[in-house]
Amino acid sequence: MNNLSYLKNVVTLKMDENKCTGCGMCLEVCPHQVFQMNGNRALIQKRDACMECGACRINCPAEAIYVESGVGCAAAVINSLLGKSDAACCCGPQTGPNGKNSGGCCC
């Protein structure tokens, strides 16, 4: 999955590098290795590989990451696999089995 990318230049992912504390949580939770460390800060390395799941935003203690989870390619793929008629529709994040916000689509 190292060369995985979705549609070019459509991802809503943004990072405020001034807010980043360098905790590395985004690197831990990102399923597509979108982030990398640059010294003591994280930065977006492979923006087009982002599937907009929202795990990075939800788990960033510094609130340095913005992404509209449930939009774009991720919602379309997930919803089409679930047989939803409006593949791009999503109604928001879902709570996982551990009670924490999983960032997944709930439609």
| Beta bridge pairs of residue 55 | none
68, part of any domain:
yes
What is the percent of the chain with per-residue pLDDT over 90, rounded to a whole number?
48
63 or 83: which leads in pLDDT: 63
What are 26-66's pLDDT values in tens digits? Answer: 999 999 999 999 999 999 999 999 988 899 999 999 999 99
Domain range for residue 49? Answer: 14-83
The H-or-E segment that residue 81 falls in is helix 72-81
The total of structural domains in the chain comes to 1
**Burial label, 29 (beta-carbon count in 10 A; 0-12, 13-18, 19+):** middle
47, part of any domain:
yes
Task: Report helix, strand or coil for 37.
Answer: strand
89, part of any domain:
no
CATH number at residue 37: 3.30.70.20
Q: For the whole model, what pTM was predicted? A: 0.63
Closest CA to 89 of 102, 78, 101: 78
56, part of any domain:
yes
Give Cα 98 distance to the centre of its chain: 19
97, part of any domain:
no
